[in-house]
Structure 1
């Protein structure tokens, strides 16, 4: 069993101790969120807190957003709960997780008593997956798209080619709404056998403290997961947020934000390339709202950046990465320029 990485370490740990004293490039939640209109929608739900949550309207709204029947939708307390439900409810014997990626899927599978296989993607290959690397015997495969922390956007048809009779194919699309046009999305597809797509509403909309996400899958899989959930797992305010975040207005705003993030990411990557003589390398092409970099003395650089007021995400807790990697959340150009100045002072 693999034990060399701290699978429970996440970006919030990088800023928890110092709070507002640090500019946060460690957590992949869009800044300036939730927007005022969304806060108002959530606040409007508060008078109904005496009643038990009723998720029917939110579930129907998510289904309509993806053109699916409601039987293919399950609302969850963030994508993290969905990973726990999958690990506990599905009867699998040979799960495989494609790394580097978000570590909660493997952690949840281990906690449920599973022995987890790994497919480790290599920097030399641009962290891109060769489907042949996944064992034919795997009956559960988990992959992120775009992948956290590598920012790789895998082709949808390549991921779909991993489907097999008797296999559950789990695709974590928590950051897909940060990709302009959501190209390469599998959400809404019903032609891929065993497909389970996870979506999070916490990243783009700044709702990490509210916990809301959802699962899209075949009705029998949704039923299995729902039986594993506790009663009323999603709060009334979170349900109100879910319904609001899949509205036409919200989808248009998310698309605009995705295009802005793409421009800000290009600005960040161009600035990072200037440090190539110091040994810094960017994992490219980056397609998510974060960038992965490799550099000498990354741990020391991270420590010095904290002293200069910036928090970044260490990379060594991700299987497949070592202590020479850091992940940077994409921020606005002003913040990026200030960060690049600090990085120049923090490099050896």
Structure 2
């Protein structure tokens, strides 16, 4: 697997690389399930879905849509709502079955000779590209730089570049100007903004930009609104790119309940609620980081901007197992390219949950 490093000072990527090939298909939901696949009663710090969601008003909207299940889904109203939310014409919007479907469509529809994925990040983009027969080049960011992106690390001949912002699992928020500088004619630049609505003010967002050639922005409604089981997201891109992706989709890819949710979550009141949630997450994240700072053996990657934090500590796998025995599920980090067995990802929860977790962590670390 070709790899480049985007960091300073330079390092030997081969020497620092994890000693195993990461499992790109492992995701956080596996941490909260039992051996038979059923959900457990563990306190979930492994999945980056906002707790206490979906809210009652959104459940009511979804439930009301069930009366129309006899009809085929009609996505026009939801598409208009997403377009209006970002100030775009509808032909620049594609509704998808979660952001994960968009990665599959891109891998199938975008012709790329040198696809590049910036890691550590959500592993599904690389998995989808591999499944479509692409030879993927990895750009590995360095913890010593806070996993910040150096644009010079992206190969000049890359004609497809995928990067997350804020990035899962590092919680790094790349400046919009840095990402915009990667756009150029002949290159498709895919920016995964699945967690951008959890950033106060959505600062550094590229959604809504129409001046950058080849830009594709992906958004998810599953994280902030607790809709992972419903599968709803969307892509924002030039009309010809949207048309190409749409041709790769099956008929009626988004269900009527998911379309109802998309329309509802783009309403002004919903956007205001999401903005308030982002502010609350920032406060809760600061509390989590402060409590983690009580342990000298833990180092948190930062600065963190997403609804999760990435930490490094000795015997992370053993700590994860011991926390599970005490009722807490956390996300292993070694399945992300560029990380190794010493990393864990923690979802941000309310202060009371964090304090319970830190008490259990104190028992484990002695």
- The separation in 1 between residues aligned to 2:209 and 2:183, in whole angstroms, is 13
- The separation in 1 between residues aligned to 2:274 and 2:41, in whole angstroms, is 28
Report the 3-state secondary structure (helix = DSSP H, G, I; strand = E; otherwise coil) of the residue aligned with 1:255. helix
What is the aligned partner in structure 1 of residue 182 from structure 2?
162
Q: Deviations over 1:262-283 (max 9, x none)?
A: 000000000001101xx21011
Q: Deviations over 1:132-178 (max 9, x none)?
A: 00000000000000000000000001000001210000000000000
Report the 3-state secondary structure (helix = DSSP H, G, I; strand = E; otherwise coil) of the residue aligned with 1:151. coil
Runs of 4+ in 1 over 4 A off after TM superposition: none
What is the aligned partner in structure 2 of residue 93 from structure 1?
113
Aligned with 2:100 (options 72, 80, 97):
80
Aligned with 2:356 (options 331, 338, 343):
338
TM-score (norm. length: structure 2): 0.94
Aligned with 2:199 (options 165, 176, 179):
179
Q: Tell me the C-alpha RMSD between the 2 structures.
A: 0.9
Matched, 1:326 2:350: no
Aligned with 1:16 (options 33, 37, 48):
33
- The separation in 2 between residues aligned to 1:91 and 1:298, in whole angstroms, is 40
What is the aligned partner in structure 1 of residue 251 from structure 2?
231
- The separation in 2 between residues aligned to 1:125 and 1:67, in whole angstroms, is 35
Pairwise CA distance, 1:19 = 2.7
- The separation in 2 between residues aligned to 1:346 and 1:210, in whole angstroms, is 36
Report the 3-state secondary structure (helix = DSSP H, G, I; strand = E; otherwise coil) of the residue aligned with 2:318. helix
Matched, 1:56 2:76: yes
What is the aligned partner in structure 1 of residue 226 from structure 2?
206
Aligned with 2:302 (options 256, 274, 284):
284
> Gaps (5+ residues) in structure 2?
3-19
- The separation in 1 between residues aligned to 2:203 and 2:146, in whole angstroms, is 19
Matched, 1:308 2:321: no
Q: Deviations over 1:219-264 (max 9, x none)?
A: 0000000000000000000000000001001000000000000000
Indicate if the aligned counterparts of 2:33 and 2:40 stay in contact, CA closer than 8 A. no
- The separation in 2 between residues aligned to 1:156 and 1:112, in whole angstroms, is 29
- The separation in 2 between residues aligned to 1:314 and 1:346, in whole angstroms, is 16
- The separation in 1 between residues aligned to 2:204 and 2:238, in whole angstroms, is 20
Aligned with 1:297 (options 296, 308, 315):
315
What is the aligned partner in structure 1 of residue 52 from structure 2?
32
Aligned with 1:7 (options 24, 28, 31):
24
Report the 3-state secondary structure (helix = DSSP H, G, I; strand = E; otherwise coil) of the residue aligned with 1:262. helix
- The separation in 1 between residues aligned to 2:359 and 2:118, in whole angstroms, is 35
Matched, 1:151 2:168: no
Q: Deviations over 1:116-138 (max 9, x none)?
A: 00000011111001100000000
- The separation in 2 between residues aligned to 1:253 and 1:32, in whole angstroms, is 13
Q: Deviations over 1:88-116 (max 9, x none)?
A: 01111100000000000000000000000
Equivalences, count: 346
- The separation in 1 between residues aligned to 2:209 and 2:302, in whole angstroms, is 28
Aligned with 1:274 (options 283, 287, 294):
294
- The separation in 1 between residues aligned to 2:309 and 2:21, in whole angstroms, is 24
Pairwise CA distance, 1:21 = 2.2
TM-score (norm. length: structure 1): 0.98
Report the 3-state secondary structure (helix = DSSP H, G, I; strand = E; otherwise coil) of the residue aligned with 2:28. coil
Question: Which region of structure 1 is more displaced relative to structure 2, 17-26 or 214-223?
Answer: 17-26
Pairwise CA distance, 1:346 = 1.1
- The separation in 2 between residues aligned to 1:60 and 1:19, in whole angstroms, is 36
